[in-house]
Amino acid sequence: MESALTARDRVGVQDFVLLENYNSEAAFIENLRRRFKENLVYTYIGSVLVSVNPYKELEIYSKQQMERYRGVSFYEISPHIYAVSDNTYRAMRTERKDQCILISGESGAGKTEASKKILLYYAVTCPTNDCMAALGDRLLQSNPVLEAFGNAKTLRNDNSSRFGKYMDVQFDFRGVPVGGHILNYLLEKSRVVHQNHGERNFHIFYQLLDGGDEDLLKTLGLERNPQNYHYLVKGNCPRVSSISDKNNWKVVMKALCVIGFSEEEKLLNIIAGVLHLGNTQFGEGEEGETYITTETQITNLAKLLGVDGSALTEALTHKKLTAKGEEMISPLNFEQAMSARDALAKAVYGRTFSWLVEKINQSLAVKVQTSIILKASSVIGLLDIYGFEVLQHNSFEQFCINYCNEKLQQLFIELTLRSEQEEYETEGIAWETVQYFDNKIICDLIEEKHKGIISILDEECLRPGETCDVSFLEKLEDTLGGHPHFVTHKLANGKTRRVMSREEFRLLHYAGEVNYNVNGFLDKNNDLLNRNLKEVMCQSDNQILSHCFRREEVMDQKRPEMAATQFKNSLMKLMEILMSKEPSYVRCIKPNDAKQPGRFDEVLVRHQVKYLGLMENLRVRRAGFAYRRRFEAFLQRWYKPLCPETWPNWHGRLVDGVSTLVNHLGYKPEEFKLGRSKIFIRFPKTLFNTEDALEEKKPEIVNSLLCMCLCFFIRFIKGFIYRHEEYCPVNEYFLDHVRYSFLKNLRKNLPKSVLDKNWPTPPPSLVEASEYLRMLHMRNMVMKYCRRVQPEWKKQMVQKVVASEIFKDQKDSYPQSVGRLFLDTRLGISVSSLSDGMFVLHMPSEDNKQKADAVLQCNHVIELVTKLAMMASKIDYVNISPGSIRFAVARGKEGIIDFVRGSEMKVAKGKRGHLLVVSQWLF
């Protein structure tokens, strides 16, 4: 715990609730800045972790660091992402309730890196086996795949997630990760066809061109230069200094292999197909009809997408209309054809991305189907979703992203308030009402049925007649005019009009004001693909595309939901998922826009502190008490040296010990409350005074501990000197230590099998006990071994015991024979169907030169053969032959016995060297 007064001056407080001036935003940011300058990038607000991106590698993520936080109380050591990870995992195990970790922050703040570190922590520290280790690998390797297809370089972040991701990690009753599942939200499909200056398309396009080998590019009809592709030149940023597309290509290909992906060829065909689609150009005829001018592109495109080239050409230049039950073909003009091409590119890429997530989910699915594991399983969810965005030009995507953040903020405040209230109720302390801004008014403004922005947008998209983005803006003004959180150029005052375009509307979000330009809202919300393009794609022989474009979709006359409504519905389901779990929070902050280590931009940080709602969260936490700890931690781990009655040990009830301690320290009644299991301290100053008293007391504590150590050392030496005497107060400590050490060593070095006769040498005082323990352990191992013995092995062991009794030390071949399996196939019996007493024992051998069977005669052959068959469990191996029996003689030769009936019993040499056995007739 960063407790010294000098440390507080230098690095601030590690928990914002301990800020004296907790209502001051300046004090909040100053505490962040102090810690950032000392490379302390993590700070708590109660149980919320605030993380500042250092933009450099810090030596705080090693396996040793993971072990340091494993199983340790949340507040016991300095704030860390591993502390949140471990606390969430232990809460899931002990409370048997699903958990979730919500990671938020703007692009470049480190959300994706935070989720990676959490997954890595679970992969390294959770119990596992070979099968589950493979699952851990797949969980980790899903990240580079999703980043390649879902991330892009933006003005604010070189590796910006352009989709939202929620991942469930499922654990069995032992706490072993057994499965996972990913939900993806609102992929920014518009990036496929357009990027702002200085930005890039999705990483995978550049990785393919830079990392793919020459043969692959030739097969795909591609060239290495990204500038040759229309969909990659819009941002004029083919290379990024912080990214190695070639190396990342190798990482992605390896990750696909680990996940168990076997369809790289079909997937890469689609990616290349999107690039060729972007290079498909159109011309315009004299009568306004449109035709394709790049036939080579269509040829490549048809091959890669597995579709008919002429059908694709027709679908890109014409559309099908249905009027009064009749189908009509209408040519597209130049603008419409370009839009159809781009719509197809966005649809192909967007649906392929969803298919890819589905494939990853199949690889992460729970493979163990035992009912015990499924009944007792628990889940930890990870939400890595886009942060609040305020760009120079904000469009439909930013509107959806910021709506998402409004919903998360609403959930955040609600759950934080609820958890605070529940803690006070559990501890029996009166709850004080907290005043806070309820952003439900903004959520309703966006999502309310019939009157919300999304409903108005849908209506305008569906309204017959001429509709456009401007008419949508006018409809907003008519419906929402006068709302305190909505304004347009027309509705604004003179000052606001000067900074607002006539094509914009402004929303006053909980995090601040954002102007949205309506241009493109209707097209992006419609997100419709011409029916004839769908028909072409659903006939593709590329299995990925045929899966993404179903024939039922073409036949279904029902209009699909608009993009914003789809997003709203998926967001509602996400809220239900999160509400059903116990939440933990990671709030990520970027310290500067230049991604430079050590640089702290206070204006930028203040903006993020505001829109992340951190001050509001702090006020909720500080509404009652700044500090709360369990009695055991407060008394035993920290402050008991400050009171003579509690030092060195308190043997009574913990609550009485804490009461004794705080009374000794002079706490006033208004400064603290004692709950059922925790102490609550209202003011940080009270805690700081206690901390400073502990700092002053430390030299005295050290001296006291040294004296105690010296006393123990002297006692230990005396015990060693008198170790051979009877147990007495002089040597009891030493002898107890020796016994404890022996038992601890024995536990680590117990024999692993009944054949291992090693046993640690006991001290004289434990000889008899050691012998009893050795005997018990041996019996336990024998019992465990016997329980594992299968019936077949038991039969083998019985045979080996009998063989030992008969042949051991009596026959030279015994050692070689007894070590092998006694095979059932080594014995077979043949008899004739007549009344003779002949029978043959077949004795198979691996060596043909030594192979020979025994031909025997007995007057009681039926009785003898029956007993042999039963003793050897060979009833199914008795062969009764009506005519002749073949048998093996020495050196691989074969003999034959012929059986016939006659007047008298005799054995003679027959024809062709056969043995002839004559059996008497029976009347």
Binding residue numbers for ATP: 105-112
Angle CA(283)–CA(289)–CA(295) in degrees, nearest 5?
Answer: 40
Q: Residue positions in the annotated binding site?
A: 105-112
Give bridge partners of residue 838 from the DSSP assignment. Answer: 857
Q: How many Cβ atoms are within 10 Å of 520's Cβ, its own excluded? A: 14
Instruction: Specify the DSSP class assigned to residue 763.
Output: P
Q: Which of 12, 108, 657, 719 is catalytic?
A: 108
Q: Which of 51, 115, 143, 160 is catalytic?
A: 160
Q: Which of 2, 113, 199, 389 is catalytic?
A: 389
Taking the C-alpha atoms of residue 657 and residue 659, their distance in angstroms, rounded to an integer, is: 5
Taking the C-alpha atoms of residue 653 and residue 676, their distance in angstroms, rounded to an integer, is: 12
The reply to whether omega before 226 is within 30° of 0 (cis) is: no
- Scan for tokens 């004559």, then name that residue: 918
Helices (H), 875-917: none
Structure tokens at 141: 């390797």
Q: Supply the angle between the helices 563-579 and 453-462 in degrees, to the nearest 10.
A: 150
157 is an active site residue: yes
387 is an active site residue: yes
- Scan for tokens 């890429």, then name that residue: 349
Q: What is the DSSP string of 770-820?
A: HHHHHHHHHHHHHHHHHHH--HHHHHHHHHHHHHHHHHTTT-TTHHHHHTS
Q: Which of 104, 161, 488, 515 is catalytic?
A: 161
Write phi, then psi, for 8 (nearest 5 degrees): -65, -40
* Closest CA relative to residue 346, chosen from 463, 186, 470: 186
Q: Is 730 buried (19+), middle (13-18) or exposed (0-12) by CB count in 10 A?
A: middle
Contacts of 39 (CB under 8 A, 6+ apart): 54, 58
646 is an active site residue: no
In angstroms, the Cα distances linking 722 to 63, 132, 714 are 45, 53, 13
* Closest CA relative to residue 547, chosen from 309, 263, 190: 263
The answer to whether the CB of 628 falls within 8 A of the CB of 678 is: yes
Angle CA(831)–CA(832)–CA(835) in degrees, nearest 5?
Answer: 110
325 is an active site residue: no
Q: Which of 278, 387, 613, 828 is catalytic?
A: 387
| Strand boundaries in 373-419, DSSP class E | 378-384
* Closest CA relative to residue 34, chosen from 11, 3, 55, 54: 11
Length of the chain: 923
Structure tokens at 477: 């003004």
Instruction: Specify the DSSP class assigned to residue 202.
Output: B
107 is an active site residue: yes
Q: How many Cβ atoms are within 10 Å of 853's Cβ, its own excluded? A: 20
**What is the 3-state secondary structure of 117-175?**
HHHHHHHHHCCCCHHHHHHHHHHHHHHHHHHHHHEECCCCCCCEECCEEEEEEEECCCC
> CA-CA-CA-CA torsion for 639, 645, 647, 648, nearest 10 degrees?
-150
Q: How many Cβ atoms are within 10 Å of 165's Cβ, its own excluded? A: 23
Residues noted as catalytic:
107-108, 112, 157, 160-161, 387, 389
